[in-house]
Each structure stands twice: as structure tokens, then as C-alpha cells.
Amino acid sequence: MKQYLDLLKNILENGCEKGDRTGTGTKSIFGTQMRFNLQEGFPLVTTKKVHFKSIVHELLWILSGDTNIKYLTDNGVRIWNEWADENGDLGPVYGHQMRRWGKYTLSKFEGHEFYVEEEIDQIENAIDLIKSNPMSRRIIVNSWNPSDLPEMALAPCHCFFQFNCRPLTKDERIDWLMNFDHTIHSPTALKNAPEEVFESRMDELNIPKSFLDSHLYQRSCDVGLGLSYNIASYSLLTHMIAQITNTIPGDFVWTGGDTHIYLDHIEPLKEQMKREPHPLPKIKLNPEIKNIDDFTYGDIELLDYECHPHIKMKVSV
């Protein structure tokens, strides 16, 4: 995660001091980007311990469409507690927008006109497009819904993401096949086989045809605390949707708008920057899961995560 440490260094050296909604104050830069090849490892920060359990449960909670913190608190996740009301409600935040975006359609009945509210499942629509039209440039999920912003406990920070399918070469498909079928002793013969024979063999074994890339735009980013969660969460989502759509996780691209360090995080982050990163861990999903709504916590496993100790930093609310 050298890219993450480089971003910290850039903000500390080049950021401007700004006031902010919380009253804490920040050092901030505007407009930055990082790219992670998910085939090289799972991009979870290793220069401090990151609570992966919270990342998984929050993502499952969002994907369920839930907007009450009960599921999170029942599973020991407290990251949304500061924003919930006395009933645990947060308003129409991420889960609502991704799975139940509101749409009003004009209808007529017996000469009367009226509007009927419908719901748009953006996650399912994205999955359907990846399967049916993988080269589409419209595989987008948007959480920034201006009409619902006043009712949200916290306006979406990670507010827009897009999927991209990138065709695999013949060599890449053969490499993927050999990872799963060790009886293939002559990849050259397979590569040189007639196209219809090659495609038949690939289809028979359900070998993917594309990488699945994703790109998140984050309008506001707390680099000290939130960014490590955001990178891991959307990388995990890319892995999950790749499995559902029979694609291979490719690149995760992260773009930040107001990318900031809170002033009271500066000293802890200077300590973190002295630490040498460990090799990236890996992610393992239950291969039997074929529907995005069927994933549970037990279906997601983090492997070989070696990290430095936790660094305590205060959440600005």
C-alpha cells in the first residue's frame, strides 16, 4: 500500500489548511487518484491494523438495503453510531440509494392522473448489464440523490462508482484455465486449436471472458480513518460481483475530490508513515455463491493479513 503512504505524504507536504463541517480543521488537496491491480493482492492497509470485520459487515448491510444500524451493532460494528437517531435510523443512505432508488411514474386510471412510486435496484441493474452487455459504458451506481439529501443523516462521501469489462486475451484465458484444471498439459496445442474448438473448451469449463474493473469517485475523504475502509470495501465488492458475473477482478481505481487529513490525525499518521508495508493479503470467497444477496459474513475470508499494530485516531462527527 505504498500508494496510500505516498498520498499521506502529499497531503502533509502540499495540503492547504481548511475549516470543515466538524469544526476540527483539515489539511486538504483536491483531486487525486490511485489504482490497485486486484490480481496482485487485496488492497488492505498493512501499516496499521484495519478492522476487516467492520468492512465486511458494513458492505453486507449496504447490499441488503438496510439503513438502520441494528444489524451493525448486533455484529459489533459501531462506525455509524454517531450519526443514527434514537431509533437507529440514518435516513435514505447508501443501502436505500443502491437497492431502492425512488422513481415516480405518471399513471392514469379512469381519467385521473397520479404518480406511482417505484424502486430501482441499481446493484442488480449493474449485474444484469455486466452479464448482458459487458462492454457498456453505463454500468454505474449512484448514491448522490439530491432529492433525498436533506433526509440523510450523512451525505454520501463515496457517492458514485462505475464498472468496466476488459476482454481477456487468449493467453490470459488459458492461464486462468490452467489455474483450475491441472490436466491441461499442452496449452500451446489449445492456443493453436481452431477457434471454435478453443471457444467450445472455454465455454464447457465456464472460463471468464473479461476482467472486471471498478472506479469509485469519493467527493470527500478522511484519509486517516475512512480511506482504508473505502478502498477495501469497494475492492471486496468488485471481487463479489466478479464472482456473480463470471468475470475476473481487475483494477480498482479510486478518485478523491476533497482529500483531507484532520489536524488531530497528523501526529498519528506521521508515526504510521514510518512503518514499512507488509505484502498484501488475499481474499477468498465461497465459490458456491452465485447471487449477490446470498453472501454472508462466513462466505468471505481474508488470508495472510500481516499488519502493524492499530493506531488510535478520533472520528470527527
Contacts of 194 (CB under 8 A, 6+ apart): none
Q: Tell me: the pLDDT tens digits for 286-298?
A: 999 999 999 999 9
Rounded Cα distance between 218 and 120, Å, is 22
Contacts of 122 (CB under 8 A, 6+ apart): 97, 98, 99, 101, 140, 141, 142
- Please name each of the domains of the chain with its CATH number: 2-182+212-303 (3.30.572.10)
Rounded Cα distance between 136 and 295, Å, is 26
pLDDT at 9: 95
Rounded Cα distance between 279 and 41, Å, is 8
pLDDT at 107: 66
159 belongs to the catalytic site: no
Q: SS3 of 292, please?
A: helix
Contacts of 46 (CB under 8 A, 6+ apart): 1, 277, 278, 279, 280, 281, 305, 306, 307, 308
Of 253, 175, 257, give the one whose Cα is nearest residue 223.
257
**CA end-to-end distance (rounded Å), the chain:** 27
pLDDT at 5: 95
CA dist 226 → 44, 79, 220 (Å): 12, 10, 10
pLDDT at 197: 83
pLDDT at 195: 82
pLDDT at 93: 97
In the chain, which stretches have pLDDT less than 70?
104-116, 180-187
Of 211, 230, 210, give the one whose Cα is nearest residue 220.
230
Rounded Cα distance between 75 and 215, Å, is 29
C-alpha angle with apex 164: 241 to 100, nearest 5 degrees? Answer: 55
Neighbours of 68 (CB within 10 A): 16
Catalytic residue among 16, 157, 159, 221: 157
- What are the respective helix, strand and coil percentages of the chain, to the nearest 5? 40, 25, 35
